Amino acid sequence: MKLFDVYPLYDVEPVKAYDSTVVDKNGIEYLDLYGGHAVISIGHSHPHYVKRIKEQVEKIGFYSNAVQNSLQSELAEKLGKLSGYDQYQLFLCNSGAEANENALKLASFYTGKTRVVAFDNGFHGRTSAAVAATDNPKINAPLNKQQDVTFLPLNKLELVQNELEKGDVCAVIIEPIQGVGGLDEGTTDFFQGLEKLCKDNNTLLILDEVQAGFGRSGQFFAHQYHTIKPDIISIAKGMGNGFPIGGIMIAPHIKPTYGMLGTTFGGNHLACVAALAVLEVIEAENLIDNARMTGEYFLSQVNTLPGVQKVKGRGLMLGLEFDFEVGDLRKKIIYDEHIFTGGAMNKKLLRILPPLTIGKSEIDRFVKALNNVLVAEKA
């Protein structure tokens, strides 16, 4: 059987990895400044993570959600404590799209309404309601287009107010910093205004922290820069450092009933231990502070690079916007300089989403490499 060919692939095959280094099948080492779409949070193959998963799989790797699994409560406890959301409730699933799917469904159950407000350039995943709330018609099939979603520009509170006052909106879903869309973000006034409008109109505010969460922005959650408390927070990516796990954190006023949400694999023993190991390492190695400080260092180093129009993002969720499309630049950086970087919907944006463990020396290597490529291109 052939693979269903939906991914344009780079000609590189990683066979092992440690911390921020990826090694391909020819033994070439790459600096990973992309973390496989912002997934690697504590570094590849972190010894504590490997040990925790190995020890768990030797005991029990999976049982369904029909029996007790105290690892789930341990994870909820630890996540609540580190994120500052200890009064919230945790529902576990397997990916970012699934997290948003459950968040939107829960908002609809809670409010009894059906319409969703989402934002231009937003990305929330590729399944049913999540993809319908994603501003990209190319990945929405006719089936998905049946969902009732209104897209609005960021930072236009009056437009959100007009929609919510119509009374049929169950959820406003927003990324604290847009990932795939290209690192734009709302202002603090906008986020605080959304929080109030949602409260006033019996609409739930969903913060999609799938990419920005788990310390990447330099705070546990990027929305914490705006001192708001969403009704639901969706999480995935860095949560498992590569082990598939996602979840939603749910405000206490939203009450569960049996059967309301559910999944076979969600919250299995291995996934819980992976996420616990991630939190333990984030705490022990102060990775959130590191993300903030290394991000600040990055910002101080890249302004003078030729062709850079704008530097975007926070912590280690960063982007460089050039005055040209960066597809070829990314190829040169990977094949000639051996550094992984990312692209975005905005074709002129180079995205940097490294493990939260990197420091100044990795940034210096990147800046030097980028300079080499840019100067060689100009010559």
Ligand X SMILES: Cc1ncc(COP(=O)(O)O)c(C=O)c1O
- Tell the smallest beta-carbon distance from residue 347 to ligand X (Å): 17
Q: Which is nearer to ligand X, 42 or 118 (CB)?
A: 118
- Site residues (vs ligand X, CB under 6 A): 37, 95-97, 100, 123-125, 175, 179-180, 208, 210-211, 236
Q: Which is nearer to ligand X, 34 or 123 (CB)?
A: 123
In the numeric block, which tokens belong to residue 96?
Answer: 């970012």
Q: Which is nearer to ligand X, 130 or 373 (CB)?
A: 130
- Tell the smallest beta-carbon distance from residue 31 to ligand X (Å): 21
Q: Which is nearer to ligand X, 37 or 365 (CB)?
A: 37
Q: Which is nearer to ligand X, 136 or 161 (CB)?
A: 136
Q: Give the helix/strand (H/E) hosting 298.
A: helix 287-302
Which backbone phi and psi does 179 adopt, to 5 degrees? -90, -85
- Tell the smallest beta-carbon distance from residue 90 to ligand X (Å): 17
Instruction: Find out whether 135 and 143 touch, Cβ atoms under 8 Å.
Output: no
- Tell the smallest beta-carbon distance from residue 368 to ligand X (Å): 29
Amino acid at the residue 110 = Y
CA distances 165 to 184, 195, 198, 201, 253, Å, are 26, 14, 10, 7, 22
In the numeric block, which tokens belong to residue 366?
Answer: 């990147």
- Tell the smallest beta-carbon distance from residue 34 to ligand X (Å): 12
Question: Helix axis angle, 188-200 relative to 157-164, nearest 10°?
Answer: 10
- Tell the smallest beta-carbon distance from residue 356 to ligand X (Å): 16
Amino acid at the residue 13 = E
Strands 89-93 and 246-250: antiparallel
Give the end-to-end CA distance of the chain in Å, rounded to a whole number.
47
Instruction: Find out whether 82 and 74 touch, Cβ atoms under 8 Å.
Output: no
Q: Which is nearer to ligand X, 232 or 373 (CB)?
A: 232
- Which residue of the chain is nearest ligand X when measured via CB? 96
Q: Estimate to the nearest angstrom the gap between the alpha carbon of 264 and the chain centroid.
A: 23
